[in-house]
Amino acid sequence: MKVLVTGFEPFGGVEGNPSEDVLPLLPDALGPIQIVKQVLPVAFVDSGWQIAAALTEERPDLVLCLGLKSGAMALELERIAINLDDAYMPDNAGDQPRERPILPHGPDGIFSPLPLKRMQRAIQSTGVPAQLSNSAGTYVCNHVFYVALATARELSPPPPVGFIHLPLTPQLALSRYDRPSMTLEDMRRGLVAALATAIDAL
């Protein structure tokens, strides 16, 4: 079995991105389950085709995408991706879509099939704060989440897909006017618990 975990490069003038920085800290396997890691660009078009290609080529049994949410106080497990790109600032390629559907004929929203409440409890049992979120936004994180969910539906069997937003690290938080933060070690511990719970549900 195989799990695909993705993160993002830095964006928006922030010098790092914990969703990228935490990837090397995650294990390469959980028991017999291989963990494949990939960093995606913060660009609507490129991130979309790259996550779709990764699902098609890797054929993972589970997909967990990670992203940064400045201001988050916990690991935020996203329930739904919506079919909308509406950027508050340009992406790293200079693209700033306004009220643009991700897939013109796709559903308005797609829910994650992962056992999110169980994953939340598993994270909390490690001492790491976690909460459910009903909006992944309308920026590149939501774009990747939606494309991954839509692509998974075309595969047989369709792998379950989830998305977790991460807080800033303490170092990055200081550069962003003392916003909430979490250490990479806490993120790693919480993510391993979430992954183990998701794998157990397969």
As annotated, the active-site residues are: 78, 141, 165
For residue 147, give both structure tokens: 């494309």
Alpha-carbon span 144 to 148, nearest angstrom:
6
Q: How far apart are CA 70 and CA 162, in angstroms?
A: 19
- Distance, CA of 47 to CA of 157 (rounded, Å): 23
Query: Angle 138-170-21 (CA atoms, 0-180°, nearest 5)?
Result: 65
Planar angle of CA 199, 201, 202, nearest 5 degrees: 70
Q: Specify the pairing of strand 29-30 against strand 62-68.
A: unpaired
Q: Is the alpha carbon torsion for 117, 113, 202, 149 positive or negative? A: negative
**Structure token digits, residue 57:** 């080529």
Q: Please give the Cα distance from 169 to 181 (Å, whole number).
A: 5
d(CA 101, CA 84): 5
